[in-house]
Chains A and B, each alone.
Chain A
Amino acid sequence: MNAAVHRNPAVISAASSILDEMKSVSSSLDYAALLTDDGFDIARLPGETDGARFASMASSMQALGDAVTHELKIGNSEYIIIASAKGYVVQLRVPGHPMVLSALFDNDATVGSALAIARSFVQKMATLLTETASREPEMTSPDSGKNL
C-alpha cells in the first residue's frame, strides 16, 4: 500500500529543507508549514503553534478560498492573505502538487515581499519534489497518489 504523502521521508526531508532555507533568507518569517491539501502537517518550523491543528485549518482556508473564487467564476485562488495587527499569514499552493505553504510574517516585512518570498519557495518546492520523485521510483508520486 502507498505510504501517505505526509509520512514519506523523502517528501518530509524536502519540505524541511525548503522551510529552513526560507527562514534563513527572511528574518521576519515567524512560522511556516507545508501541509497536504487535506490538512496533514508535512513539515513546519519550530514554534508554539499546534502544527497538526494549524495544518487542518490552513487546508480548510485553502478550500474555502477556492470555493469563493469558483463561485465568483474568477478561476482558482492564487494566494490567501490574512492580515492582523501583529503580522500576515500568507498561504499558497505548491504548483502541480496537492500541497500548500502557509507562512506567518511579522510586520517588518511588507505584504509584497512576503508574497514574493513565498512564491519563490513554493516554486523551489515543486522543483525539488519532481527531482525527488524521479530519483526514487518507488516513492509515491504526490499528485497521483499511485506508485510510479
Chain B
Amino acid sequence: MGAGKTTAIQAVSEIDVVSTEASNSERHLVDKPTTTVALDYGEILVDGEEKIRLYGIPGQRRFDFMWAILKRRAQGMVLLVNNDAPDPVAEMLAYLDDFRELYDRGGVVVGISRSDIAPEPDLATYADAIALAHAGKVVPVFTVDPRNNDDMRMVLLALIANIEMRALFATVERDAI
C-alpha cells in the first residue's frame, strides 16, 4: 500500500485512467487520503489492432480475490515496492509467492520506489533475497519514480522483453535438473 501503483499507471497510460479510489481508513499507517479498492485501468495502444491493458490492483491482502481475477488475465506484472516500508524485502518475496505463475513465466519486474528517501535496502539485497528463495530465476529489479513517464515505460519494456525471451528459452528450463 502506498508504493505508487495508481500514479505509475497514470504516468504511462494513454487513456484517462479509470480509478476506483475510496477514503482511506488507515491514515495512521499510510498517510494518503484515498486507496484503490477495486482496480485502476489504463491502456497503451500498440498499433491499430492491439493494446496493452494496464491494471493497478490493491496490494492489501484483503483484496486478494482481485489478484485471483487478474492473475488469470495477466501476461506480466510490475511489482512496486515502497523502500520506506518496514520490511520491503519480505513483502516482495511474499508477493512473488502469491504471483508464482507469473513469476515462473518471467513475467515479473520489481520497481523500488522512494529509494531516494530510503536508500536501504539496496538492489543487491533484493537480488540476493530472490536468488536465495528462487535459485536460477533472475527478476529485473530497478529503482523507479512512479511519477516519471520514462521510468515506467522502461519498466514496461523490460517486462515484455523478459517475458518474450523467457518463452524462447522455456524448453531449456524443463530439461534442466
Contact = CB atoms under 8 A, between A and B. Distances in A.
Q: In their complex, do chains A and B touch, with some C-beta pair under 8 Å?
A: yes
Interface of A: 1-6, 36-40, 52-53, 55-57, 59-64, 66-67, 71, 98, 143, 145
Contact of B20 (A36, A52, A53, A66): A66
B27 A63 contact: no
Contact of A63 (B33, B38, B60): B38
A35 to B, nearest CB: 10
Nearest to B66: A60
A64 B57 CA distance: 13
Nearest to B24: A38
Contact of B27 (A2, A52, A59, A71): A2
B64 to A, nearest CB: 9
Given A38-B35, A60-B38, A67 B25 contact: no
A56 B26 CA distance: 14
Contacts of B62: 39, 52-53, 55-56
B37 interface: yes
Contact of B65 (A2, A57, A71, A98): A57
Contact of A56 (B18, B27, B65): B65
A79 to B, nearest CB: 17
Chain A interface helix/strand/loop/mixed = helix
Interface string B16-53: 00111111111110000101011000000000000000
Interface in B55-96: 60, 62-63, 65-66
Nearest to A37: B22
Contact of B25 (A4, A53, A60, A71): A4
A60 B35 contact: no
A67 B18 contact: yes
Nearest to B18: A67
A145 B32 CA distance: 11
A64 B38 contact: yes
A32 B19 CA distance: 27
Contacts of B22: 36-39, 59, 62-63, 98
Interface in B134-173: none
A60 B109 CA distance: 26
A64 B26 contact: no
Nearest to B29: A4
Contacts of A61: 38
Contacts of A38: 22-26, 35, 37
A34 B65 CA distance: 20
Listed residue (A3, A55, A59, A66) with the most chain B CB atoms within 10 angstroms of its CB? A59
A36 B18 contact: no
30 contacts: A1-B28, A3-B28, A4-B28, A36-B23, A37-B25, A38-B22, A38-B23, A38-B26, A38-B37, A39-B62, A39-B63, A40-B25, A53-B62, A56-B37, A56-B62, A56-B63, A59-B22, A59-B37, A59-B38, A60-B38, A62-B22, A63-B20, A63-B38, A64-B38, A66-B20, A67-B18, A67-B19, A98-B22, A98-B23, A145-B33
